[in-house]
Structure 1
Amino acid sequence: MTSPVISTPKNESVFSILSRRRVINIGYVPMTDCAPLIVAKELGFFESAGLDVNLSREAGWATVRERMIHRELDGAHAHASMIYEMGFGMGVNRVPCLTGFILSHNGSAISFSNELWNLGARDARSLKRVIDAHKGTRKFRFAVVMKFSTQNYLLRKWLRIGGIDPDNDVELVIVPPPQVFSCLMGGHIDGYCAGEPWSSIGLIEGVCWCAGLSDEVERMHPEKILLVHHRFAESRHEEHVAMISALIQASEYCDKQVNRYELAGILSQRKYFNVSREALLNALQGPFQRGMGEQSSALDAIIFRRNNASLPTEAKARWVLGEINRNKLMPESLELSSEEIQNYFRMDLYEEAEAMLQAS
C-alpha cells in the first residue's frame, strides 16, 4: 500500500517513533468487532504510523485477561467491562488499565436451538411459557461468553422482558465465542448470546434461529475497546497515540459498506478467523439471515465509526458500569466520580490522536 503524504509535524512524530521502534503486542479474539486491528495491520495503517504491531490470536477472553495480567500483552481487543474487572480486581489480580478508543458498537445476537422453536418459542414471552411447561423436568441452559460482558447483560435483559428470571428459571454458563456453535450442535446448550461471526455461523447452517440482534435489545451499545496497560500508556505514550490514530483510519474503512465484501475476505483468512466469507457478510453486509426463513436489515448490526462510535466518552463508561451494578455482578455496587471514570476512559488520548490525523 502506498504511504499517505504527511506533513512535517506528522513526519517528526513518525521518525521519532521509528528511532526507537519496538514491537507492540496486541491480543485479539476472532470476532468481527476486532476488524479495525486487523485492517490497520493488513492495509498498512500501523506501518504508516511507524509502528510494529504484532497481533496475537487468543482462544477466548479468559486467555486475553490472563495474558494481560501477566504482562505478556501490551494491550488487547477486549470487552469494555474488562477495564473495570481488571482495574478493580473483580475476581482477578488488579491490573491498572485504560482505553483511548472504542473499537465497536453492537455486533451480537441472541440465538436459540431449533428444538425451542419447535416447542413454541418465538420471543421472550413465548420462551417463558416453554420454560414454565418444563419446570421440574428440565432446566434450559444458555451460554454467554464472559461474566463481565455485554452478551451477559443483554441476554439477561432480554429474558427479563419475558418475565424470565435469569438466575433461577434458566442456567447461564460461560463458553468462549468460537465454541458456542459446536456446543449448541452437541446439545450442551440450548441457546446463546455471542458476537459475530459465531451467531451467523449457526444461523447459516440452519441449526438455530435469532430471537434478537443486540442493537434491538439496547440501541447503540458500546461493545469492544482497545484495552492497554496504564504503564504502557505512560511509558510509550507517543506510540499509543499513533496506534489510536491508525485505528481511527481503519475504523473508517471498516464502516463503509463499499468495503464490507473486501473486509470479510480479509477477516476470513486462515491466520485470522478461518471461517467463510458468507458467515462474516451476514452481519457486515446483510440482509441478516435470522433463521426459519426470516431476515432483517444488517445496517446497524455492527458499527465501527458512525455516530461517534470510536469516542471513549463518560456516557459509554457509565453505561458499562451501570450494567455491572444493575446485574449485581459484584457484592457491592461500584460508584465512580467523573474524574475517576476519566482515568479509565481517556477522551484526552483520543482527541490527541484525532489532532495528529488532522495535522497530516
Structure 2
Amino acid sequence: MTSTHQITAGFLPLLDSALLVVAKEKGFAAEQDIALTLVRERSWATIRDRLAVSHFDVAHILAPMPIACNLGLTAPAPRMIVPMALGLGGNAVTVSAGLWSDMAECGASPDLDAISSGLALRRVVDNRKGERLRFGVVHPYSGHNYELRYWLAASGIDPEEDVEIGILPPPDMADAMTSGLIDGYCAGEPWNTLGVLHSGAHLATVKAAIWKSSPEKVLGVNGRWADGHAEALAALLRALYKASLWCAAPGNQEELADLLARPAYVDRAAESLLPALTGLLQIGGHKTLSIRDFFVPNAKAATFPWKSHALWFYTQMVRWGQIRHTPDHEQIANDTYRPDIYRNALKALNIAMPAASSKVEGALKIETPVGSSGALTLGPDGFFDGGLFDPVDIESYIASQARI
C-alpha cells in the first residue's frame, strides 16, 4: 500500500539524528502515513547542497545553517525554514591528553565546569607565548563554532588571535587530534566519546555547561517544498514529536543505541553511543561523570523552534564578522524559525507548548513551570558567564559583545 506522503530526509551520522531514525524504525512515520527515506551524508555542505537541488525535502541540520542560507552567506542555498528542533545539548569540547594535562596543572576542574576549564585554558594560552593552539569545529555556521568562540571569549581568549579554529568533518576530528593537526575540537556525539576511548582524549567542558538548554540540530526544510506540502510537513512533525517521546524514555536507551549503531545510521558500536544517551560520559583518564541534561530529546520544550535561539545565532554571526547587522538581516533570522508551523501541526496531539515564541535566554536559573497550553517546565537555560540575551534588544546585545 502506497503512503500518502513521500519524504526524503538527509542526515549526518550523529547521535542527534535520533528523532529521524526512530520516526522511521519504530513506525511513527508510518503511523502518519509517511514513507520516510533517510539518506546518510558525510558533510553539512552536502546536506545543504542536496536540499538546494531538492534531492532532500528536509534534513537533520546545524541550527544556524538555515539562517546563514537565508542570509545569503552560503551558496548554493535553498530558502529554508525551521519548524522544529531535534533536541537540546549533545556537544562537548574535547582536548588532547597533553593539553588536558597542561590545563589540569593550571586549575581545570575535573567536573568539566566551564568557568574553571576556560580560565585554565587561558593560562595555558598565556604560557605558550605565541604558539597558537588549534581547534576544530564542524562548520563556520554551526552551534559548535559559536559556543566554542563564546566560551573562549568569555574566558579571556581571543578566538581570532590567540587560537586557530579550522573546519573538519566530525568523523575526522579524533584522527586529526591524534596526528597533532589539532589540539582539540568541539563536536557532537559520538565523536567526543570516541576521542576519549580511542585517542586518549579528555573532555574539557560540555555544551550543557556553556549554555544550558541550548539548541544544536534542527529540522531544516526546503522552503519551496514546505509551501507545496503543508500536510506532509505537519505529519512529519507529529511523527518526530512522538519519536522524541520514545527517545526520552530511559527504558528505551539501550534499544536506541542499538538502532543508531546500525551501518545505515551512525555505524559505531552501541556502547560508544550509550554514554551520551544516559548522560554517564567517559571524560578521560578512565573516569566517568554524570552530566545532567547532556542530551535532551523531549523535555523542556526541546523540540520547540524558539525565535530567540535563531536570533542569538544571528548575533554571533554579527559578532564574528560573518555578516553586518541590519534590521533586514535581523528580520530574516527571526523569520527562519517557525513556531507557528510547529504549533499548528502538534495541536492535535494535545501537548504542552510554550505560549511565547521567544524568551530571554539565560533568565531561568532553575527549572521553572511556565505559562503554556498545559504543564511545561523550562530551564535552567543560563550562559556559564551569567550573560543574558534579550531578543527584544538585539542592538544593545551586539554592542555589548566585544570580540573578547
TM-score by length of 1: 0.89
Match of 2:349 among 326, 333, 357: 357
Match of 2:336 among 344, 348, 355: 344
Query: Is residue 308 from structure 1 mapped to residue 301 from structure 2 by the alignment?
Result: yes
- Describe how 1:95-244 pairs up with structure 2 within 5 A: 95-121=78-104, 122=108, 123-136=117-130, 138-205=131-198, 207-244=200-237
Mapped partners of 2:169, 2:94: distance in 1: 15
Mapped partners of 1:212, 1:117: distance in 2: 11
1:240-276 Cα distance to aligned partner (Å, 9 max, x none): 1100000000011111222111111110111111111
1:189-238 Cα distance to aligned partner (Å, 9 max, x none): 11000001111111223511111110100111111111111111111111
1:26-57 Cα distance to aligned partner (Å, 9 max, x none): 10001111100000000011111111111000
Query: What's 1:267 paired with?
Result: 260
Query: Is residue 92 from structure 1 mapped to residue 85 from structure 2 by the alignment?
Result: no
Mapped partners of 1:293, 1:244: distance in 2: 40
Of the structure 1 ranges 210-219 and 315-324, higher mean CA displacement relative to structure 2 is found in: 315-324
User: What secondary structure sits across from 2:165 in the alignment?
Assistant: strand
> Amino acid of the residue matched to residue 343 of structure 1?
D
User: What secondary structure sits across from 1:172 in the alignment?
Assistant: strand
Label 1:163 to 1:343 Cα distance change in 2 as closer, same or farther (>3 A): closer
Structure 1: runs of 5+ lacking an equivalent: 1-14
Mapped partners of 1:53, 1:343: distance in 2: 27
Of the structure 1 ranges 318-327 and 302-311, higher mean CA displacement relative to structure 2 is found in: 318-327
User: What secondary structure sits across from 1:165 in the alignment?
Assistant: coil
Query: Is residue 32 from structure 1 mapped to residue 15 from structure 2 by the alignment?
Result: yes
- Describe how 1:276-291 pairs up with structure 2 within 5 A: 276-291=269-284
Label 1:311 to 1:334 Cα distance change in 2 as closer, same or farther (>3 A): farther
Mapped partners of 1:96, 1:244: distance in 2: 19
Query: Is residue 58 from structure 1 mapped to residue 41 from structure 2 by the alignment?
Result: yes
Shift of 1:334: 4.8
User: What secondary structure sits across from 1:119 in the alignment?
Assistant: helix
Query: What's 2:325 paired with?
Result: 333
Report if the CA contact (8 A) 2:277-2:295 is conserved. yes
Mapped partners of 2:334, 2:238: distance in 1: 20
Give the % identical residues: 34
Report if the CA contact (8 A) 2:100-2:204 is conserved. no
Label 1:254 to 1:334 Cα distance change in 2 as closer, same or farther (>3 A): farther
Of the structure 1 ranges 187-196 and 22-31, higher mean CA displacement relative to structure 2 is found in: 22-31
Mapped partners of 1:128, 1:178: distance in 2: 27
Report if the CA contact (8 A) 2:71-2:333 is conserved. no
Report if the CA contact (8 A) 1:107-1:223 is conserved. yes
User: What secondary structure sits across from 2:292 in the alignment?
Assistant: coil
Query: What's 2:314 paired with?
Result: 321
Computed over aligned residues only, the root mean square deviation of the Cα atoms, in angstroms, reads 2.1
Mapped partners of 2:133, 2:71: distance in 1: 33
Mapped partners of 2:40, 2:321: distance in 1: 31
Query: Is residue 295 from structure 1 mapped to residue 278 from structure 2 by the alignment?
Result: no
Shift of 1:120: 4.1
Report if the CA contact (8 A) 1:78-1:227 is conserved. yes
> Amino acid of the residue matched to residue 79 of structure 1?
L
Query: What's 2:373 paired with?
Result: none
Shift of 1:341: 5.3
Query: What's 2:384 paired with?
Result: none
Report if the CA contact (8 A) 1:282-1:298 is conserved. no
1:141-197 Cα distance to aligned partner (Å, 9 max, x none): 100111011111111122123321111111100011111112112221110000011
Mapped partners of 1:29, 1:219: distance in 2: 24
> Amino acid of the residue matched to residue 132 of structure 1?
D
Query: What's 1:7 paired with?
Result: none
Paired positions, count: 340
Structure 2: runs of 5+ lacking an equivalent: 109-116, 352-404
Mapped partners of 1:199, 1:227: distance in 2: 24
Mapped partners of 2:127, 2:190: distance in 1: 33
Label 1:114 to 1:335 Cα distance change in 2 as closer, same or farther (>3 A): farther
> Amino acid of the residue matched to residue 75 of structure 1?
V
Of the structure 1 ranges 164-173 and 65-74, higher mean CA displacement relative to structure 2 is found in: 65-74
Query: What's 2:57 paired with?
Result: 74
Mapped partners of 1:159, 1:286: distance in 2: 24
More RCO (CA 8 Å, sep 6+): 1
1:74-96 Cα distance to aligned partner (Å, 9 max, x none): 11101111111111211323421
User: What secondary structure sits across from 2:315 in the alignment?
Assistant: helix
Report if the CA contact (8 A) 1:113-1:191 is conserved. yes
